[in-house]
């Protein structure tokens, strides 16, 4: 670039283009760095062991999970091979037939039910629902029913409160997808 043999406006144009190119290169570098950082974060967030394909396998219901469980707030859950029932005191909140069970063989798992009754979502009968449990022992378990406020199927008074197929329920309703945030701490009442 020969700055002395050119007019002032021509020299100004070359300097402006040179600065603009430098800014574009710097901007591209910043954007590339952000894409790489957020991409790495996204990949690491999606590799949680609670994803159904990572560590959870179809299995029989553990014997120690079967029975009646109760919280300090009068929540009662009755679990056996065939049915899962949620009660608040004597009032049945929902019940369903057990459609599937997956476990990580380390005290955590998912129970899939097909609703036969649901007082909160009357349109949920014959829809599928997933319950997650963790910290299972002979005398205690931590349990949560799946729900996500951004999922229209769980919008109170609008959605059915469940999924149309078992496969959809099990694929979508996972810990890593945010469906299980409110757990109940339960003690075993009887087998």
Query: How is residue 105 written in tokens?
Result: 């063989």
**Is residue 79 a contact partner of residue 67, using CB atoms and an 8 Å limit?**
yes
Per-residue pLDDT, 109? 96
Residue 12 is given by DSSP the state: H
Per-residue pLDDT, 105? 86
Per-residue pLDDT, 56? 87
Per-residue pLDDT, 155? 87
**Is residue 127 a contact partner of residue 160, using CB atoms and an 8 Å limit?**
yes
Question: Which are the contacts of 75, defined by CB distance < 8 A and separation ≥ 6?
Answer: 86, 87, 88, 184, 186
Query: Within the chain, how many helices (H) and strands (E) appear?
Result: 2, 9
Give SS3 for 96: strand
**Is residue 51 a contact partner of residue 174, using CB atoms and an 8 Å limit?**
yes
Per-residue pLDDT, 43? 32
Per-residue pLDDT, 158? 79
Query: How is residue 5 written in tokens?
Result: 């043999």
Tell me the C-alpha to C-alpha distance, in Å, between residue 141 and each of 71, 75, 121.
10, 13, 26
How do the pLDDT tens digits run along the chain, 191 residues long? 554 555 545 545 554 555 445 545 544 443 333 333 333 333 333 333 445 445 789 999 999 999 999 999 999 999 999 999 999 999 999 999 999 999 998 899 999 999 999 998 888 999 999 999 999 999 999 999 999 999 999 888 778 899 999 999 999 999 999 999 999 999 999 86
Q: How far is CA 191 from the centre of its chain?
A: 30
Helix (H) or strand (E) holding 70: strand 67-70
pTM comes to: 0.71
Q: Which CATH class is domain 57-190?
A: mainly beta
Residue 83: count of CB within 10 angstroms of its CB: 13
Q: What is the pLDDT of residues 35-69, one digit of tens each?
A: 333 333 333 333 334 454 457 899 999 999 999 99
């Amino acid at each position: 670039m020969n700055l002395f043999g050119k007019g002032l406006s021509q020299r100004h144009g070359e300097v402006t283009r040179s600065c603009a190119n430098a800014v574009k290169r710097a901007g591209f570098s910043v954007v590339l760095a952000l894409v790489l950082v957020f991409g790495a974060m996204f990949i690491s967030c999606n590799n949680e062991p609670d994803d159904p394909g990572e560590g959870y396998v179809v299995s029989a219901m553990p014997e120690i999970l079967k029975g009646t469980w109760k919280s300090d707030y009068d929540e009662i859950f009755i679990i056996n091979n065939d049915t899962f029932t949620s009660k608040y005191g004597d009032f049945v909140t929902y019940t369903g037939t057990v459609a599937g069970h997956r476990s990580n063989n380390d005290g955590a798992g998912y129970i899939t039910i097909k609703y036969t009754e649901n007082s909160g979502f009357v349109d949920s009968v014959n829809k599928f629902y997933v319950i997650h449990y963790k910290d299972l022992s002979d005398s205690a378990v931590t349990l949560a029913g799946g729900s996500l406020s951004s999922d229209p199927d769980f919008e109170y008074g609008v959605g059915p409160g469940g999924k149309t197929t078992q496969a959809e329920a099990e694929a979508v309703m996972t810990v890593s997808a945010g469906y299980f945030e409110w757990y109940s701490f339960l003690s075993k009442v009887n087998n």
